[in-house]
Amino acid sequence: MTTTPLRKDAARNWDRIVAVARDLVDEGTPLQLNDVARRAGLGVGTVYRHFATPEALLETVATPCLESLVAHGEEALADTEAGRALERFLTRTVEAQVTDASLAPVTAAPADFLPRTTELKQALWSAGEILLGRAREAGAVRADLTSADLVPLMCGVAYAVQVHGGASADRIDVAHRYLTALLQGLRTTRPDS
Amino acid sequence: MTTTPLRKDAARNWDRIVAVARDLVDEGTPLQLNDVARRAGLGVGTVYRHFATPEALLETVATPCLESLVAHGEEALADTEAGRALERFLTRTVEAQVTDASLAPVTAAPADFLPRTTELKQALWSAGEILLGRAREAGAVRADLTSADLVPLMCGVAYAVQVHGGASADRIDVAHRYLTALLQGLRTTRPDS
Amino acid sequence: MTTTPLRKDAARNWDRIVAVARDLVDEGTPLQLNDVARRAGLGVGTVYRHFATPEALLETVATPCLESLVAHGEEALADTEAGRALERFLTRTVEAQVTDASLAPVTAAPADFLPRTTELKQALWSAGEILLGRAREAGAVRADLTSADLVPLMCGVAYAVQVHGGASADRIDVAHRYLTALLQGLRTTRPDS
Amino acid sequence: MTTTPLRKDAARNWDRIVAVARDLVDEGTPLQLNDVARRAGLGVGTVYRHFATPEALLETVATPCLESLVAHGEEALADTEAGRALERFLTRTVEAQVTDASLAPVTAAPADFLPRTTELKQALWSAGEILLGRAREAGAVRADLTSADLVPLMCGVAYAVQVHGGASADRIDVAHRYLTALLQGLRTTRPDS
DNA sequence: CATGAATGAGCCTTCATTCAT
DNA sequence: AATGAATGAAGGCTCATTCAT
């Protein structure tokens, strides 16, 4: 209800554009508005009308995924076991980044192009911040881990998976292995014995 | 013996080009051969003669750093304490990546443009492989950590530091924090007595 | 009686469009129909329905001013002092061009887009022609000055003022200085006895 | 000797570009660098290398004419009859503007794109300023005429001629008529008696 | 009548690479 | 060897105009 509902034909074009962009992102092709227009069988102007910049389009592609992460973040906030809640949250985040190529660049970007993106990212990071705070209070994580580290670390894991390469089917396993190690390292160091 | 020795003036040009490229890399400017030529006060053709592609130039810029890493790897191989040796090796690698902007792209690239780069990267990874093998045998690291994970993980840490942002002076500290956690997580999980 | 009377809402839109165009002209922004539509809070189509081209809109903006010039021309025709009548007429014309940015392009254009504009321009030039004829007969102006020179000369003065630049408040003074000189030069040269 | 001499082939292209631009200017086509390239049978890049902007090209086209005006201005400075010298200078300037379509826009432009253009324009206007000063001292021109009026007035006359239209052969005559009147009006008004 | 989405020609500009000098 | 002019594909973006809703 934030935006005026689009006319039916315009909505169809909007969908087409986003679908084409989705495909391009999935096949690793950089988003170029002219290119998108050609593939969607639309005029360039149409694409520019809907998305002023490639970044705006990319963020739009990433939005559903961000929304689902936010939803998951809210669920995690309901978990009373602080350490577990944080780990689930982070795991889900990394899984998403590894699965959906649109996510990593949007997440790592220092500035957003759509207000909606900013909203979602803030919602996400504030959930992370709360979860981290609780986990720290519970003595479940290292004291030197701050909320400003969450995004970088998740991006780092996702990037590591990408550098590792390999079939996209295997990526998720690699991601789990890397994340498992990292999370283990982030837990409070118990004195041996 | 790998390359024909250059004429004295050609060698001076080669040096100039690499020095200019070094500066560009340091200031975060993307390497464009035309640009390099202009700044070096040389013709484009001269730059192309020495470096067929921007990547070749970038690899050349990164070479000294790679060489020093290889040297360090060899030293690490002399360390009898397997776990410590591996950790030192990895730490040094991450430090280098965070400190020298030419390193990350060369390290993460799936293919090399210069044979020398391939040589050095192989030397480096095989040192890593050996150190990892010893550490695993010594029971110092998780059994599921393979040598194919080393590069991705180091790149991931470096990338996380970059996403974290902040003054370049602080980067090295952030890198240490992240690496400390990761290394902790990579160690063999001891049963809590 | 030239145009079908508009429906009340259509008339309101027409007014809005012209008002917006007036503002744009005053602030020196080139008239773009899309732009006008946006600022008027109307659809592009509506603007196009009323004004087929930017020029038609511009002429509409200029119309009131042209009408007042025509009225003034008629008054001048009542003046029995031929030389003075012509000079007043020309002065008024230049003042208008310097004061109202919509006028100069319409005046200088070789072709019109609205019949009404053609009507007004013709009325104006024929007044000028008559005034010039009388002044010539009265021996008040150079014999080689023809009615085809009137528009160019007035446009030239207005253009000179524009090139001179400066605050819009000063423009009118500059215009007077330039016009004074020109009119002096157009008067019959008396032999210095 | 201000610029490095061009290579022979580059010089040929430079000439071609300027010649094409000359033609375009003469036929009243707006200068577009891509267009120029196509007509000259050259790559766009070549044109951009020589002329960074359309304005730079236009100024280059206008340069010879400006130079000849400057030369004429220097001759005029040698004339001891102050009023005549000024009038000749202005006449020559208007003739040039009417004859060469590249001149008017360059002359009227508030800012230049080539240093050479600025040089020439300054030389020209300072000649005009001196000639005007002498004429004023000699009591040959109106006291309220300042050197800041020279350019606007000349541009105004040229513009008037353009608005007048007609065959280019007749333009020069029209220009002379207009200028004659203006110069007459700029002379000191003698009391009739 | 009003709307505003769609169109796409057209312009600008950059840059990796080649090749004549 | 060195030079740097030339190339032109490629990408970006705007805007006047049309037409389905």
Buried b (16+ CB within 10 A) or exposed e, D142-153: beebeeebbbbb
% of chain D residues with pLDDT over 70:
94
What is the spatial distance between Cα A14 and Cα A28, in angstroms, rounded to a whole number? Answer: 21
What is the spatial distance between Cα D45 and Cα D42, in angstroms, rounded to a whole number? Answer: 8
| pLDDT score, position A81 | 96
What is the spatial distance between Cα B125 and Cα D163, in angstroms, rounded to a whole number? Answer: 78
Among chain C residues, CA nearest to D154: C160
Each residue's pLDDT, cut to its tens digit, for chain B (193 residues) gives: 445 666 678 889 999 999 999 999 999 999 999 999 999 999 999 999 999 999 999 999 999 999 999 999 999 999 999 999 999 999 999 999 999 999 999 999 989 999 999 999 999 999 999 999 999 999 999 999 999 999 999 999 999 999 999 998 999 999 999 999 999 999 986 544 3
Do the chains contact at B160 and A163, CB–CB below 8 Å? Answer: no
| pLDDT score, position C189 | 65
| pLDDT score, position C11 | 86
Residue nearest to nucleotide F4 (CA to C1'): B43
Buried b (16+ CB within 10 A) or exposed e, C151-186: bbbbbbbbbbbbbbeeeeeebeebbbbbbebbbbbb
Phi, psi of D127 (to 5 degrees): -60, -45
Phi, psi of A63 (to 5 degrees): -55, -50
| pLDDT score, position D5 | 63
User: Would you say B77 and B89 are in contact if contact means Cβ atoms under 8 Å apart?
Assistant: no
| pLDDT score, position B10 | 81
Furthest CA-CA distance within chain D: 70
**B157 touching A (Cβ < 8 Å):** yes
How confident is the model over C11-41, as pLDDT tens digits?
Answer: 899 999 999 999 999 999 999 999 999 999 9
| pLDDT score, position D84 | 95
Q: Helix %, strand %, coil % for chain A, to 5?
A: 75, 0, 25
| pLDDT score, position C193 | 39
Six token digits for residue B178: 């992240």
How confident is the model over A72-122, as pLDDT tens digits?
Answer: 999 999 999 999 999 999 999 999 999 999 999 999 999 999 999 999 999
| Cα C170–chain centre separation | 19
Where does the pLDDT of residue C7 fall: very low under 50, low under 70, confident under 90, or very high at 90 and above? low
Query: If you average pLDDT over residues D39-63, what whole number do you get?
Result: 95
Domains, chain A, with CATH or none = 1-52 (1.10.10.60), 60-186 (1.10.357.10)
User: Would you say B21 and B61 are in contact if contact means Cβ atoms under 8 Å apart?
Assistant: yes
What is the spatial distance between Cα D127 and Cα A110, in angstroms, rounded to a whole number? Answer: 57
Six token digits for residue B67: 């060489």
**C156 touching D (Cβ < 8 Å):** yes
| pLDDT score, position B153 | 98
Which residues, including other chains, have CB under 8 Å from residue C60's CB and lie 6 or more apart? Answer: C18, C21, C51, C114
How confident is the model over C42-94, as pLDDT tens digits?
Answer: 999 999 999 999 999 999 999 999 999 999 999 999 999 999 999 999 999 99
Residue D1 scores a pLDDT above 90: no
Six token digits for residue A144: 């030197």
| pLDDT score, position D8 | 80
CA angle B135, B137, B138 (to 5 degrees): 60
Furthest CA-CA distance within chain B: 69
Phi, psi of A60 (to 5 degrees): -65, -40
What is the spatial distance between Cα B86 and Cα B81, in angstroms, rounded to a whole number? Answer: 9
Which of strand F's nucleotides are less than 7 A from any protein C-beta? 1-21
**How far, CA to CA in Å, does D156 sit from each of A95, C112, C153?**
71, 23, 8
How confident is the model over C98-132, as pLDDT tens digits?
Answer: 999 999 999 999 899 999 999 999 999 999 999 99
**How far, CA to CA in Å, does D94 sit from each of D67, D99, D126, D177?**
15, 8, 17, 11
Name the residue among D141, D180, D156 with its Cα closest to residue D97: D156
How confident is the model over D7-30, as pLDDT tens digits?
Answer: 788 899 999 999 999 999 999 999
- The amino acid occupying position A16 is R
**How far, CA to CA in Å, does B123 sit from each of B2, B66, B74, B146?**
17, 10, 9, 17
Q: What is the dihedral of CA C124, C130, C131, C133, to 10 degrees?
A: 140
| pLDDT score, position C32 | 92
| pLDDT score, position A73 | 97
What is the spatial distance between Cα D45 and Cα D49, in angstroms, rounded to a whole number? Answer: 6
- The amino acid occupying position A143 is A
Q: What is the average pLDDT value for chain C, to the nearest integer?
A: 92
Q: Show which subunits contact A, needing at least 3 CB pairs below 8 angstroms.
A: B
Do the chains contact at D157 and C157, CB–CB below 8 Å? Answer: no
| pLDDT score, position B191 | 44
Which of C153, C179, C187 to mutate to probe the D interface, most D CBs <10 Å? C153
| pLDDT score, position A8 | 80
Distance D45 CA to E14 C1' (A): 9
Phi, psi of D74 (to 5 degrees): -65, -40
| pLDDT score, position A133 | 97
Phi, psi of B141 (to 5 degrees): -130, 160
Buried b (16+ CB within 10 A) or exposed e, A15-42: ebbbebbbebbeeeeebebebbbebbeb
Q: At what angle do helices C82-99 and C54-78 cross, to 10 degrees?
A: 160
| pLDDT score, position A1 | 44
User: Residue A187 pairs with which residues in a beta bridge?
Assistant: A141
Q: Is the CB of C139 under 7 A from strand E?
A: no
Distance C53 CA to F8 C1' (A): 36
| pLDDT score, position B3 | 54
User: Residue B187 pairs with which residues in a beta bridge?
Assistant: B141
> What does DSSP assign to residue D167?
-
User: Would you say B182 and A185 are in contact if contact means Cβ atoms under 8 Å apart?
Assistant: yes
